[in-house]
Amino acid sequence: MKRIVLSLMVAAAPLFADLEKLTLSQALEILKHKNLELKVAKFEERMKALEIKAVQGMNYGKADVTLMAMRSNDAGNVFGFKLQSREATFADFGFADFMNAIGYGAMQANGDFGAFTQGLIQNGNQILSIAPEDLNYPKARNHFQTKISYMVPLYTGGKLKEYAAIAKRMYLMSKLDTKKTLNMKIYETKKAFYDITLVENYIVNLRKIIRNISKLEDVIRNMKKEGYAKEIDLLEVQARKAEAESMYNQAKLNRDLAYQFLSFLLNTEVKSIKRVREYAPMPKVDKARLEYTNVDIRKAKLGLEITRHALEMEKSRYLPEVGAFAEYGSADNTLWNDFTDKDAYTVGVQVKWNVFNGGVDKAKYEEARLKYLQTRSQVELAKKGIALKVRKLRTEILSLDADVRSYQKQLKFARRVYQNYKSRYEEGLASITDVLIKQSKELEMLLKLLKVKHNRNTKVFELESLLNRGGNL
């Protein structure tokens, strides 16, 4: 039910100009739907998914429909057009001029076969040298050809299989990239929430300090009237108050900047949040499952699989490729005229086997093998490096926890010392300089505590990101 409410809130978010009293869980839901970097990463995912389909489609071959329309008076073209249209006649070979010469010889022989034969022997070269008018100077002809062709790979030595495997893993890699982006954006969102909480609590403490300084200022003014304080005492207090107010204004600017960054992450204007605890909880580390959950290690493993398939693909260069093709069409001087009477087909199979190319295939195979071995070493490096980084972060967090406890005690002590010196000043037992020195120590401890809490929370969120605790899209 809670998830449904969050989803409805996310859907309704664009209806409102600003978001107020936003909770961290609500912010994370909005982040998953509206963050611009995540949208870009999702588009990359979709493009990689389409690449898989493109590779798979190669197995089914390619079919083309071609329609050509031409007109020519070129002797070769016109003769070829007529052949394709199945309309070629002996007249197209120039037989009209040949038959005229034969007829003329028969007429001269006047029925005497011997004389006719003798005339052919004597005039044969002259007859054969006749340039046929119909063949050499044909009339221009239109030609329309419709053709359907289909080519399909029957065997590629495993190339298409390996291409498909690589494309699938590239898609999975893009999903991991999206996951890593999500983890980073969740890290930044959580950090922004905790930073705002810390700064707002810091602002509250600064307000108290400023009020205390103002009270001290009033005390000094009254003591000055009675002659128990000097003008320099008042000026010192006012200078310290100005310093505290400057820190207060800077803190408010930092808070505004954090809100602007949070609004950028959510792609929605955020006016206020519901504060979280100052202390982000330490995530539990499962060392046995680290290599199965960490995104960088999973990406390295995928990279190893990709190089393995690339190695297999290089092996396929030594194998033959077999393809089949078929073509069916019809041609005429009129579009789609007597289509089936003038149709034709062609089918065939092609085998291609590269037997020598100067050692290029061997070099590429060796390069792919070395790349595979290199990636395998990188996987081991990633496992050990991430494990080391996790241990380092846990150690740093535990160390910062100790610093937080120490600064909290020092801050508590500094406040008591300040109150003690303030009372002693009112009794004339301490100078205003001593009081302000102690009050300065309180400000120093407050600022140190803010920084160490900020650093500690940052380390916690880094550790969560390494452990892939960002959730799912």
Whole-model pTM: value is 0.80
What residues are paired with 152 via a beta bridge?
324
- Looking at residue 119, its pLDDT comes to 59
- Looking at residue 4, its pLDDT comes to 47
The three-state secondary structure class of 64 is strand
- Looking at residue 275, its pLDDT comes to 93
- Per the CATH hierarchy, to which homologous superfamily does domain 2-61+160-318+355-466 belong? Outer membrane efflux proteins (OEP) (1.20.1600.10)
How high is the mean pLDDT in each 10-residue block of the chain (473 residues)? Answer: 48 56 95 95 95 92 92 86 80 62 58 60 60 75 92 92 94 95 95 95 92 88 80 88 93 95 96 91 88 92 95 92 94 86 91 88 93 94 94 95 94 91 83 85 91 94 87 64
Strands 62-72 and 321-332: unpaired
- Looking at residue 13, its pLDDT comes to 47
- Looking at residue 287, its pLDDT comes to 83
Tokens of 120: 């052919």
446/412 Cα distance (integer angstroms): 10
Which residue, chain included where needed, has tokens 């071995």? 373
The three-state (H, E, C) secondary structure of 390-432, written as one string: HHHHHHHHHHHHHHHHHHHHHHHHHHHHHHHHHHHHHCCCCCH
Burial of residue 353 (number of CB atoms within 10 Å: 0-12, 13-18, 19+): exposed
- Looking at residue 356, its pLDDT comes to 85
Burial of residue 408 (number of CB atoms within 10 Å: 0-12, 13-18, 19+): middle
C-alpha dihedral (411, 412, 414, 418), degrees to nearest 10: 140
Domain ranges of the chain: 2-61+160-318+355-466, 72-140
| Residue 258 identity (one-letter amino acid) | A
- Looking at residue 175, its pLDDT comes to 95
